Amino acid sequence: MPESCFKCPICGRPVAVSDPLLPFCSERCRLLDLGNWASGRYVIAGPPPSEAPPAEDWEAARGAGENESGV
C-alpha cells in the first residue's frame, strides 16, 4: 500500500488521501460507522455517569479561581 493511502476503518480497503470520503472507502462504510456511534457500539472513555460529580461541584470548581467580575 503506498504511503499516500490509509486503510478504511470499517472494511480495511485502501483509501487515497485525496478521496473526499477519507477515512472511509465508500458511503456505505461511512454510514456503517455512523450507525456504530448511534447504536452505542463506540464510546469515548470516561467515568460512568454514576461516578461523575454533581453539577453543583462543577460550578463551584469552575468559579473557584474567578473574582466577582468573572475574570
41, 58 contact by CB (below 8 A): no
Burial of residue 32, with CB atoms counted within 10 A of its CB: 0-12 exposed, 13-18 middle, 19 or more buried: middle
23, 6 contact by CB (below 8 A): yes
The tens-digit pLDDT sequence of the chain (71 residues) is: 555 689 999 999 999 999 999 999 999 999 999 999 999 999 888 877 666 666 666 666 677 655 555 55
For residue 15, the cross-strand partners are: 6
